[in-house]
């Protein structure tokens, strides 16, 4: 039987349960490092926010895709005295995969930082800088800091999100506009960038998804960026974009798609297919079932080509690091909205409850899945 051979082990053994394994010195050293990393990891998105606000990705792009520290100090119009501090920021950004660097301390863009360059499109997708600024805003940080208090409250259904509980406002609704118009504008820009990202990849990787379709309604389609991309790839498809009046009133009128002001909870314009791209994770199960029931009313039978196309996260523990990303996105839904992310069993359950007969996961693209649901 193991006998404590130090004051530390004896003290821990006295306070522990009989089955507790005493950590070794090496394990404690690693645990300390892990704890520091977890406690300080919030500085990674703060560094990313700083890089965007300073314009680092855009400056590197304009300097030809690679830049030295002196190049960046000059391009960013920073005081020379800040060069050593900028070097430390760049080192963290390089270590965490936001930038690349070599032994000569030349910093270059990687696919992630290309997504943050102002004014350029990557595969037709707008810059994702607004998404970073949104998720690192004080409103989002304060909502997360209120999580423990939120858990302790016995609140009647429907349970408001921590964001609503802390700020008294709901994301993407009029209450947020009243609270802070500038932040509300940023949050909606972030939502649009997030929602439309990746449609080019979907059109290439899931080409058969739209084959044979004559008409499609894009629910919560915003300014129609996704629908226009579909029509350009498949000119024969007649596309409707359904969204709330305050969104549709700002949409462009280019004749490519038909914009319809409405509410998907009440009615969805009829089409051969209805698409929900990154929509359902904002809603709880009962709301999703109601939305899907409206989708079912809007489409013909499966034999006539009727289907609902869902592009959303399918949580999968076999995805390694992407699984962690999915869980973080689920936490984001819990803190900021009344929605959640779902695994395949969760999706299957709400499809059945909404009256659908079958579904197929067409393809998994990173953290997202492309699903066809049949009446």
Domain boundaries, the chain: 42-119, 133-192, 198-374
Residue 213: both structure tokens together? 């379709």
**Cis, peptide link before residue 245, omega less than 30° from 0:** no
- What pLDDT score was predicted for residue 296? 97
Rounded Cα–Cα distance for residues 21 and 35 (Å): 19
Within 13 Å, how many C-alpha atoms sit on residue 72's CB side? 25
Query: Looking at residue 1, what is its pLDDT?
Result: 45
Q: Give me the helices (H) in the chain, please.
A: 7-15, 25-40, 43-54, 56-62, 69-75, 83-95, 111-114, 129-135, 138-145, 147-152, 162-167, 174-179, 181-196, 199-205, 225-233, 245-248, 285-298, 321-336, 344-353
Q: Which two tokens stand for residue 208?
A: 């058969």
Closest by CA to 122, choosing from 134, 109, 137, 136, is: 109
Which residue ranges of the chain lie beneath pLDDT 50? 1-4
Which 3 state secondary structure label does DSSP give 374? Answer: strand
Question: What is the CATH T-level fold of the domain 198-374, as seen in this structure?
Answer: Rossmann fold (3.40.50)
Q: Which of 61, 140, 167, 281 is catalytic?
A: 281
**Second CATH level (architecture) for the domain 42-119:** Orthogonal Bundle (1.10)
Query: What is the rounded (10 degree) CA torsion for 7, 8, 9, 13?
Result: 100
Q: Report how far residue 242's alpha carbon sits from residue 276's, in angstroms, rounded to the nearest whole number.
A: 10
Tokens of 162: 């921590």
Question: What are the two backbone dihedrals, phi and then psi, of residue 142, each rounded to the nearest 5 degrees?
Answer: -65, -35
Q: Are residues 247 and 269 in contact, defined by beta-carbon separation less than 8 angstroms?
A: no
Q: Is residue 275 within 8 Å of residue 225, measured between CB atoms?
A: no
Interior angle at CA 155, CA 153 and CA 158, nearest 5: 140
Would you call 281 a catalytic residue per the annotation?
A: yes
Check residue 125 and report its DSSP letter. Answer: B
pTM over 0.85: yes
Instruction: Say whether 313 sits in a helix, a strand or coil.
Output: strand
Tell the burial category of 373 from Cβ atoms under 10 Å away from its Cβ (0-12, 13-18, 19+): buried
Q: Do domains 42-119 and 198-374 have the same CATH topology?
A: no
What sign has the CA pseudo-torsion 154, 155, 159, 163?
negative
Per-residue pLDDT, 73 = 98
Q: Are 134 and 325 in contact (CB under 8 A)?
A: no
Residue 335 makes CB contacts below 8 A (sequence gap 6+) with: 140, 143, 144, 147, 161, 162, 163
The candidate with the shortest Cα–Cα distance to 257, out of 219, 230, 233, is 230
CB atoms within 10 A of CB 153: 10
User: What pLDDT score does 123 carry?
Assistant: 62
What is the C-alpha to C-alpha distance for residues 114 and 361, in angstroms, rounded to an integer? 30
pLDDT computed for residue 156 by the predictor: 81
Query: For 192-210, what is each residue's pLDDT tens digit?
Result: 888 888 888 899 998 889 9
* Span 326-336, pLDDT tens digits: 999 999 999 99
83-95 and 43-54 are packed helices; what angle lies between their axes, rounded to 10 degrees? 120
- Cα angle at 21 between 19 and 24, to 5 degrees? 170
From 109, 75, 101, select the one nearest 88 (Cα to Cα). Answer: 101
Contacts of 206-210 with CB under 8 Å at 24 or more apart are 206/362, 206/363, 206/370, 208/362, 209/309, 209/362, 209/370, 209/372, 210/234, 210/237
């Amino acid at each position: 039987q193991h006998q404590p051979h130090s004051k530390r082990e004896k003290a821990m053994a006295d306070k522990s349960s009989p089955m507790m394994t005493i950590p070794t010195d090496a394990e404690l050293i690693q645990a300390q490092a892990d704890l520091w990393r977890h406690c300080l990891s919030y500085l990674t998105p703060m560094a990313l926010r700083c890089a965007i606000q300073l314009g680092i990705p855009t400056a590197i792009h304009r300097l030809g895709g690679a830049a030295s520290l002196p190049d960046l100090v000059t391009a960013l119009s920073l005081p020379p005295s800040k060069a050593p501090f900028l070097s430390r920021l760049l080192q963290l950004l390089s270590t965490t995969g936001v930038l690349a660097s070599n032994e000569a301390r030349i910093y270059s863009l990687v696919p992630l930082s290309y997504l943050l360059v102002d004014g350029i499109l990557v595969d037709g997708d707008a810059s994702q800088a607004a998404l970073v600024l949104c998720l690192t805003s004080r409103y989002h940080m304060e909502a997360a800091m209120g999580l423990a208090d939120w858990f302790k409250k016995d609140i009647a259904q429907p349970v408001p999100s921590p964001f609503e509980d802390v700020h008294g406002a709901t994301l993407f609704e009029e209450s947020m506009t009243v609270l802070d118009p500038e932040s509300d504008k940023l949050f909606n820009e972030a939502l649009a960038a997030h929602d439309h990202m990746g449609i080019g990849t979907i059109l290439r990787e899931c080409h058969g998804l739209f084959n044979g379709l004559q008409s499609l309604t894009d629910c919560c389609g915003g300014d129609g960026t996704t629908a226009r991309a579909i029509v350009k790839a498949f000119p024969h498809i007649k596309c409707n974009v359904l969204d709330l009046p305050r969104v549709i009133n700002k949409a462009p009128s280019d004749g490519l798609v038909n914009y319809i002001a409405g509410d998907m909870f009440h009615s969805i314009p009829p089409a051969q297919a209805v698409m929900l791209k990154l929509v359902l994770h904002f809603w709880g199960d009962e709301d999703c079932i109601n939305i899907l029931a409206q989708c079912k009313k809007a489409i013909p039978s499966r034999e006539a080509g009727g289907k609902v196309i869902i592009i959303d996260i399918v949580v999968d523990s076999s995805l390694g690091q992407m699984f962690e990303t999915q869980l973080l996105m689920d936490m984001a839904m819990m803190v900021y909205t009344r929605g959640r992310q779902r695994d395949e069993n969760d999706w299957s359950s709400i499809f059945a409850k909404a009256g659908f007969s079958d579904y197929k996961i067409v393809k998994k693209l990173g953290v997202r899945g492309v699903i066809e649901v049949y009446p």
